[in-house]
Amino acid sequence: MRRLLPLMLAIGLLMAPPSSWARQYTQTAFAPSPKTTALITRNIGQAEKTIRIAAYSFTSQPIADALIKAHQKGVDVKAVVDKTQANPRTHSIVSRLVHAGILVRVDRKHSIMHNKYIVIDNRTIQTGSFNYTANAEKRNAENVMVIRNNPALAEKYLKNWQKLWDESENYIANDNAPNLR
């Protein structure tokens, strides 16, 4: 029986889904630095099925480009943004996402929807103080943390995201808004 135990464990491991083989690990980056945006866009680019984003402020062209590219390759991308992002004077990039076919909702329920996180494929979370803006990358003291292969934690973030989504209203794109390139 002792000799069979390692074989039985190996067979059990091979029968388990590949996602359960992976160990959780984290990545971090600190701004001001282009490494922050690069870490976020790299993780967005690795998405295979879903991306859920909650964003207080969103003016970053590279992050918008990464989300649009993911959407174009068939990833289901949805976003909830703070009500300030529906104002064309904020230079928000959200209209560009909507024009690309990404579903975006505006949180008008809370005084401030100050969340800044992305959940990728129900197992990877990007969070931290980092707003999705050029200023966050170039001028501010900000942080980004990516937690990979943690479906239990991702589920908690997704539950919060779904609550925000359900409480929000559809974003109406303004064709005269900036950043529609």
Kindly report, residue by residue over 117-139, the tens digit of the pLDDT.
999 999 999 999 999 999 999 99
DSSP letters, 62-122, are HHHHHHHHHHHTT-EEEEEEEGGGGSGGGT-SHHHHHHTT-EEEEE-SSS----EEEEETT
- Domains of the chain: residue spans and CATH: 34-170 (3.30.870.10)
The per-residue pLDDT of the chain, averaged, comes to: 89
Query: Annotated catalytic sites, by residue?
Result: 114, 116, 121
pLDDT reading at 180 higher than 50: no
Per-residue pLDDT band for 178 (boundaries 50, 70, 90) equals very low
pLDDT reading at 18 higher than 50: yes
CA angle (34 as vertex; 28, 35 as ends), nearest 5 = 25
Q: What is the pLDDT of residue 104?
A: 97
Per-residue pLDDT band for 150 (boundaries 50, 70, 90) equals very high
